[in-house]
Structure 1
Amino acid sequence: MSVLPRRWRLPYLALLVVVALLLSASALEGYRLSGGKRLWEPFLWEFSSIGVTGLLVLGLHALVGRLSGMPWQRQLAVHALALPAFSLLHIAGMFGLRLLVYRLVGVAYHPDAVTSLLVFEGGKDAVSYISFCFISRGVWLAQAARARVQELERARRELAEERLARLADQVQPHFLFNTLNLISSVMYEDVPRADRLLCQLADLLRQTLAAQQRVEHTVREELALVQPFLALMQARFGPERLVVQIDAGDAALGCRLPALLLLAPVENAVKHDVARHRGRVTVEVCAHAVGGRLVLTVSNHGDTPVPAAPPDAEGGLGLRNLRERLAARYGAAASVAFGPEGAGMRLRVELPCAC
């Protein structure tokens, strides 16, 4: 990977120019007070120093990154060799640029003696080198921390997706086995009717398999699965025993939700009420968008009291599955309420309405 990503090259160059201008402005005042006549000289001095330093800092940053993870003794040994090289390259590059410019403009230039330059510039370079090492180390640590956070988020996202896929896979076997049990109860009494139910079941299973591949879809698509299922149950029990009511607002139809979310609750409504009733039972499915939230309700109530014990307050496997899927997908942003309502039961699901 490049030491300086493309998106940071222009800001880095701008930073060097700003620093060089600030130092040049400061040096210019001293230069004028000392009687200097060529006002461009302080700018040449500072820009040549900052320009060479800017290039060397990139190499130093790469070196600090390569040394990360090595024993500290080895790092110190490498830096002990790199610091003099940094200073020599800085001095050679800086004064090389100055000599070139002075020659191009035809002005004599007489820098200090080499020993003086090495002592004076070397001391400043040592301070700069150590400072840049600490800054570079902080940058590498910040990048590593950000990479760890991104990797952790990716792992969490993949884990959540895997969990959602596992929970979605539980829906189909649960639904399939219960539906086959219902069909088996009529296959010896009315073979054509059982055959018709099996064909309807096959069509419904093909749709659910396609839905599982999408992970999530719209309320409109979810109801397109619920309606055939309820039609299948009406064929099983008869329209005189099972009354179906579906009410969905236009705004809610475009909201997205996990695929196959409503099949299990609707199945529970049939299993826990219609199958145990002798009279007529109404199963109602509603979907409405309220204030940016999607509100789904599945309720069932009969004309006569249920003769057996009331269903599990937690809603059984299907609703436990629903709660886990919503918690994995939305966290605290989704809520589930399930309990008795009049002569039946009512499930209310609320989640963000994302289109």
Structure 2
Amino acid sequence: MTREQLIDTIGKNGRRLSMKAADLTGFDFSGLDLTQADFRFADLRRANFRGAILRQADLSYANLTGANLTDADLYEANLNFCGLSDTNLTGANMEGAKVNFSVGQSQPYSTAKLPAEPITLTTILQKPGWGLLIGALLGALLIYGCNAIVYFTNLIVTAKDPALVGLYRFLVVQNMSDGVVMFLLVWALSIRLARTVAKPWKRHLIVTVVVLISFFVVNTGVYYLIGKPSIDELKKRPQGIDDTAPWFFYVIGDLLVANFFLYILQQGRQMTRKLTEQEFQLLNLEKLKTRAELDALQAKINPHFLYNALNSIASLVHDDPEKAEEMTLLLSKLFRYSTGRDGDLFSSLTDELEMVRTYLQVEQVRFGNRLTFTVDISNPALNALRLPQFLLQPIVENAIKHGIAKRAESGRIDVRIYEKNDYLHLCVHDNGPAFPDDMGGGYGLRSIQDKLHLLYGDDADVEFQNFPLKQVLISIRLARINTMSTVTASPTPPTPTPL
């Protein structure tokens, strides 16, 4: 596409340009109005956007390496997950622009036009030194807690005084119960609050109140169940019990940990949702790509077959008009099959075999007694399976062209469909000359191999065998057939995960 064609397209579409996954390396967009344009997954390396208007444009997942965005208007543009290495953003208006998880260091842009970065744990950890400091603090607290557990466990094991053993056991059970209940409450509340409370500060306030109540309930319960007898016994002694810190010192720790845990849960769900949306977009793009490639293969098969069939009819028009008429009717039946699919790339095995029978009948008109054939399916239940269209016809055509046509005497083609070891096997046998050692096949056979690779990957295979019989054997894992026959359908968008 040239710049002039692009300008014309923008005019027709009212500026809502869609260039998803396009290769636009080095393209000149300078000065153009690209408001709300869609450049997702596009290759925009070294593209020139100098002075372009990209307000609310979607550039997520695009490769902007080396692109020139000098003085571009990127108001509320989506630059998430972009490649921004060596991107020039000097003077660009970045107000409201999203640049989360973008990769690479871009050249500076006008900070006066950039909104204040929100203060989140992610942004704090990304700042030099802060991540190390917070990690060190968390590590220190974790080690302190582990050492406290070891210390009190040792006291329980080594203490000789039953009252002291009871006190230490009470302290351990009290703290562990408090921690377990607090984490379970926050986890359950985080799910509930994500659906019912929009404001994050309200969620934290509710969690604070609930954890405060649970602190008193749990500690009071454990005290009366385990700790009271030992504590009462120690209070009767002359030395009593050493004074401890006020209760609110302990509850502060619970509240801090609870709110931090709530924040981590919310951030985790948000990240999961973003990744799920990204995977969905990539899946949708991959399916569109697969559909386009299959369409291209299909479009080449039909003219290839038509050319051969019309040549056969032309050779019969003068010599045997009745056979030419019969062949023409059979050919029309074939093309009703190939053109009446409404864009569906798949058909039932029943339809595919009927198409093969019709094709062989067409060729039988031409070859007469020189060609006999059989089409056999071992299990009628297999007829309902949906397979790519024109999967068998090119193989049968190849058998006639390179096998039957080269025989002076009677030729035979056998098409067999059977199930074995969780695979569907489609076998085409002919009694013509053996396959050469360097068998590559023409376009028809290559298209079959390409189709199977696109749809089934390693779960499908094509073999050219000369022993014990000369045959082409297609094997497809049955479990993949039903799942891949929906390749033309759009994937269902993921259900948003509450934050």
TM-score range normalised by the length of the shorter chain: 0.5 to 0.7
Partner of 1:154: 284
Of 451, 454, 458 in structure 2, the residue corresponding to residue 332 of structure 1 is: 458
Q: How many residues matched?
A: 257
CA deviation digits over 1:298-326, x for unaligned, max 9? 01004xx68xx959612221111001101
Name the amino acid aligned to 2:456: Y
Q: Distance in 2 between matches of 1:212 and 1:277?
A: 39
2:430 is paired with a residue whose SS is strand
Of 318, 321, 331 in structure 1, the residue corresponding to residue 447 of structure 2 is: 321
1:315 is paired with a residue whose SS is coil
Listed as ranges, the matches of 1:90-101 within 5 Å are none
Partner of 1:293: 423
Name the amino acid aligned to 1:338: F
Listed as ranges, the matches of 1:1-355 within 5 Å are 9=192, 23-28=212-217, 136-211=266-341, 213-238=343-368, 240-249=369-378, 250-302=380-432, 310=436, 313-341=439-467, 345-353=470-478, 354=481
Contact 1:219 1:257 in 2 (8 A): yes
Aligned Cα root-mean-square deviation (Å): 3.8
Contact 2:371 2:412 in 1 (8 A): yes
Contact 1:211 1:259 in 2 (8 A): no
CA deviation digits over 1:255-298, x for unaligned, max 9? 22111211111111111112222111100100012243211000
Contact 1:197 1:232 in 2 (8 A): yes
Name the amino acid aligned to 1:349: I
Q: Distance in 1 between matches of 2:471 and 2:273?
A: 51
Q: Distance in 1 between matches of 2:218 and 2:319?
A: 107
Contact 1:243 1:283 in 2 (8 A): yes
Contact 2:211 2:254 in 1 (8 A): no
Q: Distance in 2 between matches of 1:25 and 1:259?
A: 65
Contact 2:348 2:387 in 1 (8 A): yes
For residues 188 and 22 of structure 1, do their structure 2 counterparts lie closer, same or farther at Cα, with a shift above 3 Å needed? same
For residues 23 and 248 of structure 1, do their structure 2 counterparts lie closer, same or farther at Cα, with a shift above 3 Å needed? same
Report how far residue 130 of structure 1 moved: 7.2
Name the amino acid aligned to 1:297: C
Q: Distance in 2 between matches of 1:159 and 1:231?
A: 36
Q: Distance in 2 between matches of 1:10 and 1:268?
A: 65
Report how far residue 28 of structure 1 moved: 3.6
Name the amino acid aligned to 1:323: Q
For residues 205 and 12 of structure 1, do their structure 2 counterparts lie closer, same or farther at Cα, with a shift above 3 Å needed? closer
Higher helix share: 1
For residues 245 and 341 of structure 1, do their structure 2 counterparts lie closer, same or farther at Cα, with a shift above 3 Å needed? farther
Report how far residue 197 of structure 1 moved: 1.5
CA deviation digits over 1:13-45, x for unaligned, max 9? 7x99998666424214667999xxxxxxxxxxx
Unaligned runs of 5+ in 2: 1-190, 197-202, 224-250, 483-499
2:215 is paired with a residue whose SS is helix
Percent pairwise identity: 26
Name the amino acid aligned to 2:370: R
For residues 298 and 19 of structure 1, do their structure 2 counterparts lie closer, same or farther at Cα, with a shift above 3 Å needed? farther
For residues 280 and 144 of structure 1, do their structure 2 counterparts lie closer, same or farther at Cα, with a shift above 3 Å needed? same
Q: Distance in 2 between matches of 1:233 and 1:301?
A: 16
Contact 2:212 2:255 in 1 (8 A): no
Q: Which structure has more RCO (C-alpha within 8 Å, separation ≥ 6)?
A: 1
Q: Distance in 2 between matches of 1:237 and 1:351?
A: 32
Name the amino acid aligned to 1:161: R
Contact 1:168 1:212 in 2 (8 A): no
Q: Distance in 2 between matches of 1:173 and 1:290?
A: 34
Q: Distance in 2 between matches of 1:157 and 1:33?
A: 58
Unaligned runs of 5+ in 1: 1-7, 35-120
The TM-score, its normalising length taken from structure 2, stands at: 0.45
Report how far residue 188 of structure 1 moved: 2.8
CA deviation digits over 1:161-206, x for unaligned, max 9? 2212221222211111111122222223223322331222122111
Contact 2:394 2:444 in 1 (8 A): yes
For residues 125 and 341 of structure 1, do their structure 2 counterparts lie closer, same or farther at Cα, with a shift above 3 Å needed? closer
Q: Distance in 2 between matches of 1:263 and 1:19?
A: 70
Contact 1:313 1:339 in 2 (8 A): no
For residues 195 and 28 of structure 1, do their structure 2 counterparts lie closer, same or farther at Cα, with a shift above 3 Å needed? closer
2:316 is paired with a residue whose SS is coil
